[in-house]
Amino acid sequence: MKDFINEAGWDRVVRVLVGIVLLALGWTGAVGGTLGTVFKWLGFLPLITGLVGWCPAYAIFRFRTNRTDDEKVAA
């Protein structure tokens, strides 16, 4: 299961906060028009990836912000 997670704790916190801010801006009407609609739906992406701990873009490009157990032993 740990191999599934490719985001560090700080990365997950930032994603969840960004997702909440985007959703709040879009759904409360603080940002209107097309940008508000984009915020309403785009906010779910960082929120979900932050909650799950896995980013599909990171997986495609073989990038990760967390350290694996092998990297922890080597350091």
User: Is residue 73 assigned to a domain?
Assistant: no
Q: pLDDT tens digit string along 3-57?
A: 789 999 999 999 999 999 999 999 999 999 999 999 999 999 999 999 999 999 9
CB-count burial class (<10 Å; 0-12, 13-18, 19+) for 9: exposed
Question: What domain range is 40 assigned to?
Answer: 9-66
User: Is residue 60 assigned to a domain?
Assistant: yes
Query: Is 74 a residue whose pLDDT tops 60?
Result: no
User: Is residue 25 assigned to a domain?
Assistant: yes
User: Is residue 4 assigned to a domain?
Assistant: no
Furthest-apart CA atoms within the chain: distance in Å: 51
Number of domains in the chain: 1
Q: What is the pTM of this model?
A: 0.83
User: Is residue 75 assigned to a domain?
Assistant: no
User: Is residue 47 assigned to a domain?
Assistant: yes
CB hemisphere CA count around 14 (13 angstroms): 6
Rounded Cα distance between 40 and 58, Å, is 23
User: Is residue 48 assigned to a domain?
Assistant: yes
From the CB of residue 15, how many other CB atoms can be counted at a distance below 10 Å?
21
